Structures are given as C-alpha cells and as structure tokens.
Chains A and B, each alone.
Chain A
Amino acid sequence: MTSRGEPMRSVVVAGGGIVGWSAAAALRRRIPALQVTVLPIPTGADALADRIGVTLPSVLEFHDDIGISEGDVLGRIGCTYRLGTSFEGWSDDLPDYVHAYGDYGRALGTTSFHLHWIRAAHAGRVPPFDSYSATAAMGRAARFVHPRGEPDSPLAAFGYGLRVDPDRYRQMLRAYALHLGVAEQAGTIAGIELRGEDGFLAALRLDDGTALAADLFVDCTGPAARLRSAIDARFDSWSDWLPCDRLLFAEAAAAAEPPSLDRAVALPSGWRWESALPSAAAHGLAYVSALLGDSKAARVLQTSAAVEPAEAPVTIRQGRRPEPWLRNCVVIGDAAVAVEPLEWTNLHLAHSMIDRMVAKMPDRDGSAVELWDYNRESEAEALRVRDFLQLHYATAARPKNDFWRAAAAAPLPDSLAHSLRLFRERGRLPYYEEETFTRGSWAAVLLGQGVMPRRTDPIIDIIPAEQADRAMRDLRERISQTVPTLPSQAAYLRHIVASARR
C-alpha cells in the first residue's frame, strides 16, 4: 500500500500519437523527478487530436511550458499561421463570418464593444461585426504579422494558432520527449492487471510478456481508451446535442499561398473543413450517418471541395467520460472528450488536460480530493466546449435543410439555454468558470450567425451613440488602412525563415 505524502514516481503513458508524446514531454519537463515511459501504441483514426494539425492560440503557451519555442517548430518541421476560421453558409441570407482570435472592436470605457454594435444594428444598417476585427480582416486578406505590441495599433495584441503536419509534429514531440529523458517501450497491450485491494491499475502486460508497472497510467489512446476501459465503461453521450457521427478525411496539394483562416463550410447535410497545413491542404466532412450514406458523403466532398476521400469514413461518438481521473488512471485527449473538429478544440483540450494533470498531480495514493478538483474543473471545461460547439448548430439558419432544421430544434443543455436566452434578450454573455472561448468568440459566432438581441443593453447608455459611431468608423478606417500594408502570410513566412537562417 502506498501512503499519503509519497509523490508519484513513475508514469506510463499509453498512446504514441501527438497527445501521448505531448503528455510525456510535459510530465518529464515539469516534474523532473518523474520516470516517464511511453508505450507508443498507435491510436485509431478517430483520435482526432492526434491527426488534425490545426491548433488554437493556446498551443503556444503549451509549447512554452514544455520548452519548445515557435522558432523550434518553424525551423524543424515548418508551420503556417492561423488567425481563426471562416464560417461559410451557416445562415442563409447572411455573408460568411470570421471567428478570429483577436478583439472585435474596442471596449468603450467599461462597456463591451459588441453591445455598441448591437445598438448600431438596431438603429439601421451596420457593417458586419467581424469587420471591426483587425485580426479577422488580416485573416480574410491572407496576410500575417506577429502582434505588434504598440498599444495604439489595432494589431497590438491578438491570438493565433499554428498549423502543422501531424506526422512530423508527432515525430518532433517524440524526439523532444526522448531528449528530456522519457523512456520508450515498444509493444502492444496483451492484458491489464489490476490491484486486488483497490482496483487500481498495477501493470500493463505486453505481448512479449513484459509487465509495465507504474504509479500512474495516462491513457492517450484516443476514444478507445484502452486503459480506462479496463476499469470503467461509463460514457456521457452528447449525441442529442452534437449529432454528427461520421467524418471523412481527404488531402490535396498544399496551396502556394497559405490562407490565414481555415474554412468551415455548411453543406445541406453536414459541414466540411479545409485547412492549409504546411505540406498539404487537409479537407474533411462531418455528417450524420442516418441522414447521409457514406458513398453519398464521398460525393458531397468531391463536388463541394473537389477532393477524393483518402480513407474509409471514420465513426465518432461525441461525449465525455465522467470522472476522467479515476483511481490511478487519467484519460487525456479524445479518450476523455470526443468532439467533432468544429472550432479545433481536440488538441486544445488535450493540452489543457495535460496542463491540469501536471498542476494537480496527486500522491501515489491517488487521493480523492485531488481527483475531485481535477474532475470538477475538467467537467466544467468540457461542458462549456460542448455548449460552444452546439451553439453553432442551435443558431445556424438553414431552414431548407432537414439536417439543419433538426440541429436547430435539438434540446439545449441548461447552461447553453441560459446563455442563449440572455443573449437573445439583451446581448449579455454569462461567464462560467473554465470557459475556453472568450466572450468575444461567443459574440463573433452569435452575431455572425445572425442572432440579434431583442434590445440594446442600457449599460451602454453612458456612451452616447454618436461617440460610439465615431469610434466604430475610426476603427474600420484604421483597419482598412493597416491591413493592406501587411505582408501576405507566404511572404512573411519566407522572411522569417530566411532571417532565422541568417
């Protein structure tokens, strides 16, 4: 038996994908006393965090925490930059909109910009909400520069993510983890041994007879959750809320000029994505198998994106495992939360879970209270990501399509219902703990999809409408002056790669 106060000494990470190697590197780097062993079993086609090389801005913090710089990524494996996603066709009669990772407008005093935009929209015609985001404008123009820091510039501060080739990224992380002292144990799992007294995992029995014992087992094996499944099969399905259960993947040649936005295009019976990785353009289609047959889905992707599916359709089951840290086994990535790649949260969630695992590392006894804290935060985070994804469906306006009508009519979880009611009433966005997306992101999607609050929030009365209008005009002018002076992403990448070599 282990006792209180004895720190974890050894960890086995199961899963040889991006998530597994990221977890191993983080554990080793941030808790140097840990012995970390990776069992690099391949993860399934449905392990999305392992196969989609599209990240949110949080990736940079994660890299920084484990000691990888942006220059390392660029120099070793190459990357492209992304400022957000262009949502196309999500509401009939409305133009495309951009969910960018930068400010939308500027707060006036203590009042949020989006409330001023709503007031202007109530008063008459107003340019789209995203036209007040310099980041969105830079993204639309396929340009890119790093944030400039000057407090006065509309590009002073904004977030951006990276796109990487998943395979090369995984190799880089593996090399880095090994460099940090992570051990690699080849093999496949033949059996899982449990401790009789408390049901904790004792060891993984490998096909060659080796027993891989550890204090803690980190399950990065994707939705199959190979380790966790040995002790618990519970799964909270979100299929009532997020109906897509099938994905098709395809690839095309890389664009010569990488765009700065990824695309999420609504189609009559699903949506498709397009993302410019460094060495290829990644495509995909998400749909509901009961409404669209697989062969028909392949034709949809062919006609809408002019690409051939590269493999058989992938079945996904959206939802989460309750108590992601159970006994001495913690599920990370798609093993814990499985969602479609809309808004690219799969790898982001994996990073967040890794970070939380490191921060809340319990002792060898797997104390209930530390698991409680980990699980409490994990649940709050997962549910709000679910809410944010469902928001796209709940507010999409494509009444001519059965798929979209059903999605819009689906019941809402209480927290999303509350958010939507408040926003529809007055444009207010309630904030919950462990929120992944900012209020700006919520507003970008809501207003981009045409959800117009019934009234203007009185809280902005203190700023006269004329003053707000002037500020809005000035901002648009500065954005339209600034963006054309920026280099294209392709030119910018050539420039920074060249100066790094000098």
Chain B
Amino acid sequence: MGERVNIVVVGGGTAGWMTAAALVKLLPRRCSVHLVESEAIGIVGVGEATLPHIRSFNERLGIAEAEFMSWTRATFKLGIEFQGWGAEGESYIHPFGTFGYGAGEIDFHQYWLRLRQAGVAVPDLEQFSMGATIARMNRFQLPASDPSSLSSTYGYAYQFDATLFAPYLRAIAERLGARRTEGRVVAVNRNAVSGDIESLTMESGETIAGDLFVDCSGFISLLIGKAFGEPFQDWSHWLPNDRAIAMPCRTETALSPYTGVIAMPAGWRWRIPLQHRTGNGYVYSSQYIGDDEAREALVASVEGEPIAEPRILRFRAGRRERSWVRNCVAVGLASGFLEPLESTSIYLIQQAITYLVELFPEREIVSSDRDEFNRLIDMEYDRIRDFLILHYHATRRSGTPFWDYVRTMPIPDSLAEKMELFRRRGRVVKYREGVFLDASWVAVYLGQGVIPEGHDLRADAPPIDSLARGMEKLHADIRQAAARMPSHREHLDAYCPMAKVA
C-alpha cells in the first residue's frame, strides 16, 4: 500500500463535512483528512430536500435512519408536486418510482397512451404511481422489498434541516479522526514547477500542507476557481434564475410527504415541510424581478408565521469545465450550480464524493483517474441540466416576461430531440446510468402538457378490452394499498420524532 494521502478539505458546509466523513469512513488507511473552515463565513446549507440516493450514502457511513431523521428533524419525501408549471392552476407530482408495476419491456405509459388515444376514459397517469398516490393522501410507509408488490414501486428521500446535517457529519468525521482547523484561508501556495497546490496559509499564519485539496468552499470556489482559474461554463441563457430568497415559517397545513415547487411570476417557490417548520424560498431571475419585490412576494405567500428574516443568495447556473484539476477536486457549489428545482444539490455532492472514493488517487495523481472523474461529473451535470430546462420550456404560461422568455428560448439540441421524440410516440431516451431515468421524464412531460400524438406500436399487441380492465384493476389496487398506510405524521411520530427543542 502506498503512503497515506494527506487531504485538505476547504470549507465546512454540507459538501465539506460529507466529504470528510465519507473519506475517513471509507478509506481509513489511505488518507488523513484535515478540514479548514471559518465560522465567520456562513454556509449555504443547500438542499433541504434530497433524492433517494442519499439513503445509500448514509448507509455506507453507517448512519441509522431513524436517529438521523430525528436529529435533522426530517420528514419523508415521495416526490415533488409542481404547481402551475404547465399552466396556471395545474398540478402534478414527479414521484420517485415507476408507473404501474414498472416491469416489462414496454413502458407502462405506452399502454396508457394507447387507451387514451382510443378514447377510453382512463385516469391521469399520476394515479398509476403508487408513490404519487400515497403522497397525495399524505400517507407514508417504507417501501416493500418484494418486487412483485406494488409497494416496491416507489422510492423515498428526506426533507431535512441541512444546517443540522453538517454538524451531524462533523461528529462522525471527527470521531473517526478527521482534524479541523478554524480560520480563514488567506493564501493558496502552489508549486512553482508543477503548479500543484502545496499548502494553504491561514489567517493565523499557520500553514496547512496536503497532497490533495478538496474545494468545498461554495460559490467563492477558492481553489479551483480563484487559484486555478478553471473556466466556468455559463448556462444562464437556459437557466436564467440567479437569486433565491429563503425564509422558514411555521407549518400550518398537513405535513406533506413531498416537496412543493410552485411557479411564480419570475421563477418559482419551494415549500419543504420539516418536522418543526416549513422551509420556503423564491428562486428568481434578477433580470425579471427586483430583490425587494421578490422578498415581498415570498413573505406574502408563505403559509404560517415567519420564523426568521428572509435571506438572499446569489448564484449562476453552470459548471466548471473540469471539476478535478491537478491536485484539486471541487465538490458541491465550488464545482457548479444547478438550481434546486429537482433537489439535485446534495445529490451532486454525493456523486462527486462517490466518484472521488472510487477513483481515489495515490499521492502522485495519474491523469486517467482525473479524466474518468471529470467524464462522470460532466455526464451528471449535463443530464440534470436538460431535465431542468425541460421544466421551463414545456409550459403554456404566458404574460410575464420571465415565462415568455423561457417558453420561447432556444434550447440545447440534445433536449429538443428528446422532446420531439416524446411528442411523436411517447418515447423516452433511455439511459442505464445517472439520475432521472425514464419515469421521471414521462412524469414531467405529461405533467406539463407535452402530450404524445401517438404511442409505441408494440403497445397495440394486447386486446384493448383486457388492457382497459387491467388498468382499472391496477388503479383500484393502488388506491386500496395506499389507503391502508398510516398518515405521514403518524409514521414520523412512531419512527423518528425529533428531539424536543429545549
């Protein structure tokens, strides 16, 4: 075994502590981890809402779910409800999971399309999703593992207080030997010959040396952006939102097991119910609305009494050309930013960490590891990018300059082709790897009114009557199975009630 790699993590937010905890847990004999952070610099605390992938991350770290949920005051998340996206007044759920039983070579929605196009009255596709049905009923139960059960066709994630996640991980990381130094970085010292980073100089005068530097410094992108000047691919012409105002409030309505994403005149608003409060935020484009106006709109729209002052964040959509340059790996906002419309922030952090662990270098870094890391990260960003743009472009909203722009803007060819493919016969571009697979695309297309003109001809094979009967039965089975589940609140209270606030 080679010598230990000395890792220096810059930044102690969600990305920093997720990275530190994962490295010390998964590669205890390969690395030593030293994290530097400054309490004077706030953390963004991205992503109160997550994707199901976080469960495998937690599992690898040996985190017990109920304890973790209790600590972070978490709720369950079965998907996202999009309000007013296709058009004012409409609503659909993008669930985690599949439609129907999710099995078979021909996608379920093809049979559904065939029936609709034949004039058979069938409920909306959403009603054939177990996950969406449970969500609408505000119920929850852990999925079944038996693949023949309808209860195995949905997944779940968490909605939690991200500001409590980092301290939770910090405790794990420090227990396993990660060091922490408080203070600001004032200089990044690079080797004059190789260009690699050798050390950081702290405000205190202390020098912290390392072999590999992980840039978790957030938007400021201290190492990969500032020190290395890695170019930023700007996607703001497709994703024009560049601001968010966040403000938590008391929960007044039912504790929904899903995140709310509500279209607003110049962007959208999130609603994330936690056990003790509801997180809210307005994501908007400063080209189309002023900060004050956005703040007022947010304050006016939240459901309960505000718990804190509104806080503003500034960003730009896009990513660094490369996320691993020389001996510096960027994780989280330092590497790029995609708005939290589909709760991908923590997912992107997690993928970067997973790939870093899978491609963990020696003290001497070889280029093939870097190349593979960058290939994988680019794929993640690019796929999510197209999926997000779809939400804006596939809309019939009009009358506000923001929506008029996104509805009519030129989109990437890769997305235009996907949309046209769906419009014709409901076909979805298939990927085996990466996030947001077929069912997610189908949910958003149909939810936002991209309605295919035809269907896959293979769906014509079964007799139409038996198909219609099967659908009817499936619909009833889903409703019955969902109705037997406990309410979300009941399940939380029994499983992971948050510690009483002192």
Choose, from B202-210, B298-306, B340-348, B427-435, the stretch at the interface: B427-435
Query: Contact flags (1/0) for A110-143 with B, using CB distance below 8 Å?
Result: 1000000000000000000000000000000000
List A residues 334-386 near B (Cβ within 8 Å).
358-363, 367, 369-370, 372-373, 377
Say yes or no: B357 contacts A372, CB within 8 Å.
Answer: no
In angstroms, how far is the closest chain A Cβ from the Cβ of B459? Answer: 10
Does A146 have its Cβ within 8 Å of any Cβ on chain B? no
- A495 is an interface residue with CB less than 8 A from chain B: no
Interchain CB contact (< 8 A) of A30 among B27, B429, B458: B458
Q: Tell me the chain A residues, 86-117 only, with Cβ under 8 Å from chain B.
A: 110
Asked if B309 lies at the interface with its beta carbon under 8 angstroms from chain A, I say: no
Asked whether, in the complex, the Cβ of B421 is within 8 Å of the Cβ of A373, the reply is yes
B368 interfacial contact with A, CB 8 Å: yes
Q: Is B454 an interface residue (CB 8 A)?
A: yes
Partner of B458, one of A359, A425, A430: A359
A421 sits at the interface (CB 8 A): yes
Specify which chain A residues have a CB less than 8 angstroms from the CB of B457 in the assembled complex: 7-8, 31, 33-34, 361
Shortest beta-carbon contacts, A-B, top 9 = A421-B368, A369-B420, A31-B457, A458-B30, A458-B360, A422-B368, A369-B421, A5-B453, A30-B458
Instruction: Provide the bound-state CA to CA distance between A279 and B417, in Å.
Output: 49
Residues of chain B with a CB closer than 8 A to A426's CB: 359, 369
The answer on a CB contact under 8 Å between A360 and B427 is yes
**16 CB-based A-B contacts, threshold 8 Å:** A7-B457, A31-B458, A32-B460, A33-B457, A369-B417, A373-B417, A373-B429, A425-B366, A428-B372, A430-B372, A431-B433, A457-B358, A459-B26, A461-B26, A461-B30, A462-B26
Partner of A428, one of B358, B425, B461: B358
Q: Nearest residue in A to B429 (C-beta to C-beta)?
A: A373
Q: How far is the CA of A65 from the CA of B1 in the complex (A)?
A: 50
B431 touches A433 (CB 8 A): yes
B29 on the A face (CB < 8 A): yes
- Whether the Cβ atoms of B427 and A459 lie closer than 8 Å is no
Q: Are B461 and A418 in contact (CB under 8 A)?
A: no
A359 and B456 contacting across the interface, CB-CB below 8 Å: yes
Residues of B within 8 A of A363 (CB): 424-425, 454
Interface flag for A4 (CB, 8 Å): yes
Q: Verify B366–A458 contact, CB threshold 8 A.
A: no
Is B454 a contact of A459 with CB atoms below 8 Å?
no
Choose one: B27, B424, B430; the contact of A4 (CB below 8 Å). B424
A33: B residues at CB distance < 8 A: 457, 460
Residue A455 CB within 8 A of the other chain: yes
Closest to A417 in B: B368
Question: Which residues of chain B (322-361) have a CB below 8 Å from chain A?
Answer: 357-360
Q: Measured between alpha carbons, how far is A367 from B358 in the docked complex, in Å?
A: 41
Give the residue of B27, B366, B425, B454 whose beta carbon is less than 8 angstroms from that of A461: B27
- Nearest CB of chain B from residue A389's CB, rounded to whole Å: 21
Given contacts A358-B458, A369-B420, A418-B368, contact A430 B433 (CB under 8 A): no
Residue in chain B with minimal CB distance to A61: B105
* Residue in B closest to A8 when the chains form the complex, CB atoms: B457
Contact for A370 among B28, B362, B427, B458, CB less than 8 A: B427
Tally of chain B residues near chain A (CB < 8 A): 38
Interface membership of B375, Cβ < 8 A: yes
Given contacts A30-B458, A459-B360, 9 further A-B contacts (CB under 8 A): A363-B424, A363-B454, A369-B417, A369-B420, A370-B425, A372-B417, A373-B427, A418-B371, A457-B360
B42: CB under 8 A from chain A? no
- Please provide the chain A residues from 1 to 40 with a CB less than 8 Å away from any CB of chain B in the complex: 4-5, 7-8, 30-34
Could you tell me which B residues sit within 8 Å of A by CB distance? 1-2, 26-30, 60, 105, 357-360, 362, 366, 368-369, 371-372, 375, 417, 420-421, 424-425, 427, 429-433, 453-454, 456-458, 460-461
- Residues of B close to A377: CB separation below 8 A: 430
Inter-subunit contact A461/B28 (CB<8 Å) = yes
Partner of A459, one of B105, B357, B421: B357
Return A149 CB to nearest CB of chain B, in Å: 15
Query: Which has the most chain B C-beta neighbours within 10 Å: A8, A110, A370?
Result: A370
Given the complex of chains A and B, what is the CA–CA distance between A475 and B430 in angstroms? 36
Q: Which residues of B contact A8 (CB under 8 A)?
A: 457
| Chain A residue at minimum C-beta to C-beta distance from B456 | A359
Q: What is the CB-to-nearest-CB distance from A195 to chain B, in angstroms, rounded to a whole number?
A: 22
A370 touches B421 (CB 8 A): yes
Chain A residues within an 8 Å CB radius of B362: 455
Tell me the complex Cα distance, A28–B282, Å.
54
Q: Considering the chains assembled together, what is the distance between the CA atoms of A53 and B366 in angstroms?
A: 44
Question: How near does chain B come to A257, taking the closest CB pair, in angstroms?
Answer: 37
Q: Bound complex: CA of A70 vs CA of B132, how far in Å?
A: 40
**Given contacts A369-B421, A418-B371, is CB(A4)–CB(B453) below 8 Å?**
yes
Give the docked Cα–Cα distance between A7 and B359 (Å): 48
Chain B residues, CB < 8 A from A425: 366, 368-369
Contacts of A4 in B (CB 8 A): 424, 453
Contact, CB under 8 Å: A422 / B2? no
What distance in Å separates the Cβ of A93 from its nearest Cβ neighbour in chain B? 27
- List, in ascending order, chain A residues with CB within 8 A of B433's CB: 431, 433
Rounded to whole Å, the gap between the CB of B169 and the closest CB of chain A is 18
Whether B432 contacts A433 by the Cβ 8 Å rule is yes
Q: B489 to nearest A CB, angstroms?
A: 34
Q: Which residues of A contact B454 (CB under 8 A)?
A: 5, 7, 363
How far in angstroms is the closest Cβ of chain B from A474? Answer: 25
In the complex, the answer to whether B2 meets A455 with C-beta atoms within 8 Å is: yes
Q: How far, in Å, is A431 (CB) from chain B's closest CB?
A: 7
Q: 8 Å CB contacts to B: which residues of A33-88?
A: 33-34, 65
CB distance from B22 to the nearest CB of A (A): 12
Q: How far, in Å, is B214 (CB) from chain A's closest CB? A: 16
Cβ distance B380 to chain A, nearest Cβ, rounded Å: 14
A31 B460 Cβ-Cβ under 8 A? yes
Cα A425 to Cα B461 with chains together (Å) = 50
User: Which residues of chain A are near B358, meaning CB under 8 Å?
Assistant: 428, 457, 459
* Bound complex: CA A421 to CA B368 (Å): 6
Query: Whole-angstrom distance from the CB of B342 to the nearest CB of chain A?
Result: 21
Which of B60, B375, B421, B460 is A430 in contact with, Cβ under 8 Å? B375
Chain A residues positioned under 8 Å from B105 (CB to CB): 65
> What distance in Å separates the Cβ of A210 from its nearest Cβ neighbour in chain B?
28
Name the CB-closest residue of B to A424.
Answer: B368
Give the residues in chain B near A455, CB-CB below 8 Å: 2, 362
Within the complex, what minimum Cβ distance (angstroms) separates A454 from chain B? 9
B465 to chain A, nearest CB (A): 16
Contacts of A433 in B (CB 8 A): 431-433
Contact A369 B424 (CB under 8 A): yes
Closest to A109 in B: B60
| Cβ distance B457 to chain A, nearest Cβ, rounded Å | 4
- Partner of B461 from A30, A361, A430 at Cβ < 8 Å: A30
Nearest Cβ distance between residue B448 and chain A, in whole angstroms? 19
A453-482 vs B, Cβ < 8 Å mask (1 yes, 0 no): 001111101100000000000000000000
In this complex, which of B26, B28, B368, B432 has the most chain A Cβ atoms within 10 angstroms of its Cβ? B368
B456 touches A370 (CB 8 A): no
Contacts of A461 in B (CB 8 A): 26-30
What is the CA–CA distance of A430 and B454 in the complex, to the nearest angstrom?
Answer: 37
For residue B424, give the distance in angstroms from its CB to the closest CB of chain A.
6
Q: Mark A392-429, 1 if CB is under 8 A from B, else 0.
A: 00000000000000000000000000100110011010
Closest to A426 in B: B369
| CB of A263 to closest CB in B, whole Å | 32
Chain A residue nearest in CB terms to B367: A421
Give the residues in chain B near A358, CB-CB below 8 Å. Answer: 458
Partner pick for A367 among B29, B375, B424, B429, CB 8 A cutoff: B424
| Inter-chain contacts of B28 with A (CB < 8 A) | 461
Q: B417 to chain A: which residues have CB within 8 Å?
A: 369, 372-373
Whole-angstrom CA separation of A426 from B458 in the bound complex: 44
B375: chain A residues at CB < 8 Å are 418, 430
Please determine whether A110 and B60 come into contact, CB atoms closer than 8 angstroms. Answer: yes
A428 touches B27 (CB 8 A): no
